């Protein structure tokens, strides 16, 4: 891993590790803000698996634990692409619940929430870039295309060789028929 990638990933993941740890140990301060979102998610979670806890505090802690784990994975360079996607996924409910600037009446509060909303959108973009980063190695699309091109060239070579050998065989047979005896 290059030093730039290492530093950038550590910088990007720092907010998730720090806020995830704080939210895991003190989820109660987020309950009033998160409750409207978790209440809407409860039926979906119950349909997915009735054993999934649906109380707001537990969901906040689960999201925080995922953020800490995925943030550490991103920072240390382990499974960075899946970790970045997971962090992007955890950022969506946090942003919608925590920074609904469109609901704010006070212009100062509205501006503050709008700034944090846009900051999270920027983090989301950075996470998408981290998820797409192949660390300078060719991506799956390029490798598949390269293999297909290689296969096409191999088939073309095999066809040319087969045609050439068929011509040689035909010439040999014609020559053999002309020979006496």
Q: State the Cα–Cα distance between residues 12 and 133, nearest whole angstrom.
A: 14
Instruction: Output phi, psi for 55, to 5 deg.
Output: -75, 145
CA atoms within 13 A on the CB side of 88: 17
The whole-model pTM stands at 0.73
Q: Where are the beta strands (DSSP E) in 71-128?
A: none
Q: Look up residue 139 and give its DSSP letter.
A: P
Q: State the Cα–Cα distance between residues 120 and 21, nearest whole angstrom.
A: 18
Per-residue pLDDT of the chain (181 residues; tens, 9 = 90+): 789 999 999 999 999 999 999 999 999 999 999 999 899 989 999 999 999 999 999 999 999 999 999 999 999 999 999 999 999 999 999 998 889 899 889 999 999 999 999 999 999 999 999 999 888 788 778 888 889 999 999 999 999 999 999 999 999 998 888 888 6
Q: State the Cα–Cα distance between residues 114 and 129, nearest whole angstrom.
A: 23
């Amino acid at each position: 891993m290059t030093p730039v990638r290492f530093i950038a990933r550590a910088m990007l993941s720092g907010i998730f590790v720090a806020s995830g740890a704080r939210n895991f140990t003190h989820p109660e301060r987020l309950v009033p803000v998160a409750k409207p979102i978790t209440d809407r998610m409860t039926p979906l979670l119950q349909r997915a698996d009735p054993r999934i806890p649906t109380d707001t505090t537990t969901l906040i802690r689960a999201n925080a634990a995922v953020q800490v784990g995925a943030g550490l994975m991103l920072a240390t360079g382990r499974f960075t692409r899946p970790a970045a996607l997971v962090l992007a996924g955890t950022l969506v409910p946090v942003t919608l619940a925590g920074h609904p600037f469109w609901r704010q009446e006070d212009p100062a509060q509205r501006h503050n929430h709008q700034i944090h909303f846009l900051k999270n959108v920027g983090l989301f973009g950075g996470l998408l870039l981290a998820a797409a980063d192949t660390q300078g190695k060719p991506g799956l699309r390029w490798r598949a295309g390269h293999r297909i091109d290689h296969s096409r060239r191999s088939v073309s070579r095999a066809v040319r060789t087969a045609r050439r050998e068929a011509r040689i065989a035909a010439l040999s047979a014609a020559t053999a028929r002309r020979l006496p005896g």
